[in-house]
Amino acid sequence: MTIKFKNWNCYIDFNKYASNGNNAIVLTDIVTHELITVATINLPGIRLKDDEVIIKNYSENEGILKTLVDAKIISEPINMVQHGFVTSPICKLLINKDDN
């Protein structure tokens, strides 16, 4: 699966965080195979459902939420989580990551 984020055309990879098994979404440049961004964050002590992700939609990732929602990869936010000075959206994965 591919997506355009900012100026990059990217592959989307679905992984798991080793510490707790939460889902991770990673974007890699199609041409250079360089890491563009990790679209998700993993927060200690927060265990998500198997079909949920926390999206990092700030700093260098600003706009990733809209990009992933528009591509129907994730839902609109179903909840929010506060961490530090930031609030991040929790969304449902809308595609089967095993079919990626």
Q: What is the pLDDT of residues 19-50, one digit of tens each?
A: 999 999 999 999 999 999 999 999 988 989 99
- Comparing CA positions, the residue from 29, 80, 33 lying closest to residue 52 is 80
Lookup result for tokens 């990626």: 100
- Given a cut of 80, whether residue 76 has pLDDT beyond it is yes
**What's the confidence (pLDDT) of residue 95?**
87
**What's the confidence (pLDDT) of residue 96?**
72
Distance CA 50, CA 94 (A): 12
What is the number of domains present in the chain? 1
Tell me the mean pLDDT in the region 66-75.
98
How many contiguous H segments (helices) and E segments (strands) does the chain have?
A: 1, 7
Lookup result for tokens 């707790």: 20
Tell me the mean pLDDT in the region 16-21.
93
pTM: 0.93
**What's the confidence (pLDDT) of residue 97?**
61
Q: How is residue 60 annotated by DSSP?
A: G
Q: Which domain holds residue 80?
A: 2-99
